[in-house]
Structure 1
Amino acid sequence: MQCPKDKTSTLVEDTLEPGLTVMRCPKTGGVWLDRENYERWRSQQPQPEFDLETLSQQLADIDFQPPPTDAKAALCPDSGRIMTRARVDAPKPFYIERSPFNAGIWLDAGEWDILKHLGLHVQIDRLFSSSWKSQLREQHQVELQRDAIIDKLGEEVAEQVFALADTLKNHPNGDFGVAYLMQQFDEGMMG
C-alpha cells in the first residue's frame, strides 16, 4: 500500500492506540486509518459530549504547525481516488482527508495527537459534517461578539451586561426588561 502523500514510500503496519492498527508512512509519519479497524476500535471508546464553547476555545489555543505534506492533495491508498478534505480551524488550519471510496481516513504527522487532545479522535467524521461546521462557526461568531463588547465597554461593565442578559433571557418576563432598557437607551440618545 502506497503512501497518499509520498509516492516513493510504502505504508507499514503500526499501532496508533491499544487495539487500533493503522498503516504508517515511515517517511512522512502520516497514518492511514482503515474504516473497519477504526470503527471497531471507536465502538469500544467512550464517546464524549461536546461543549462547542469549550471546543472552540481549545481550537483557538492549539499550537500546531501542520507538516508540509498537509498542503498536498492525497489519493486513497486503496482506490487511487482523490480524498475529500475537512479543514480544522486552528490558528494554523490543517486538513484531515477521507476516502470517498471506503471512508478510510488519512492523518498527517501530529494530527492524531491534536484530535485526541480535542476529544475528536473518536468522532473524526464530525469534521466532515456541514451542520457541525456551521455550529462551530456560529460559536466562533458569538465569541468574537463577546470580545468586541469587552473591548468597547471594558471587562467590568461587559460582565454586568452578560449577567443581566442571562438573567433576562431566563426570566419568564425578561422581554419587559429588554424593552425597558431599549426605551432608556433610545431616550438617552434623543435627550
Structure 2
Amino acid sequence: MPARANRLSAVVRAKHARLSEPHIAPFVALADEIAAARGLTPGEVPYPDPEFAGTAAQALVLLQSPGPKTSKTTGSGLLSLENDDPSAQRCYDEYRRAGLDWHQVLHWNTVPWPTASTDPSGKDLRDARPWLPRLLALLPEIKAVLLLGRVARDEWRRAATTELTRMPLVPVFIGPHPSQRGMARANAKERLSDAIEKLAGTLSTYPRENRV
C-alpha cells in the first residue's frame, strides 16, 4: 500500500483484524503485558503492523518511543511505515529507495509506551530495560539490527554490556532518528540513507523467511 495508507480507517481496521496472526500475535501479547505493567489499557502500547515480518523478522529496527500517530485514539494504534506522519513516510521512502522490503523487518521502540515529553525520562529508560531481552527472545531469525536515534543507540550499547548473553551477535547499524528534529542535524539525511542501505545490503545476502 502507499505511504500514509493508515490515514484511512478501513485500512487500519483491516490491519487490527490481523493482529491474531501467528507471526505478530506474540508481539501483541508482549505489548499488552507491558501496558498492564504500566497501568495502561490494552492498545496503549502500540502493536507492530501485521505487515511487518514479526517472528520471522530478519532485522530489528529500534527507535525511541511511540509518536502521536501510533496512538489508538489519535492514530492507527500501530507501529507502521504507513502511519500518517513524516517519520513513517521518511522510513517508507528510504526503504523503497534502498530496495529494503519492510516485510523482512520489525519496528519497535526502546521505550514501548507513550512518554510525557518528546524525550523519555531517565525513569522511562530504566523501566524499559527489562523488556528488551523479552523482545529479542521473540526474534530468532534476526540477522541485523538498525538503531535510529540517540536513545536507541545508547540503550542498545548499554544492553550489550549488561545483557551480553542475551544479545544477538549480528551487525548493528546506526542512523539518526527519522523525525523532523532528528533530520535537522548535520548530514542526517545522508546518514539515515547510508544506515538503511547497509541494512538492505546485509539482508540481501539471506533468503527471505516465511512470515508465518
TM-score bracket, normalised by the shorter chain, equals under 0.3
Mark the structure with the bigger radius of gyration.
1
Name the TM-score, length of structure 2 as normaliser: 0.23
Name the TM-score, length of structure 1 as normaliser: 0.25
Report 1 or 2 for greater relative contact order, CA contacts < 8 Å, sequence distance ≥ 6. 2
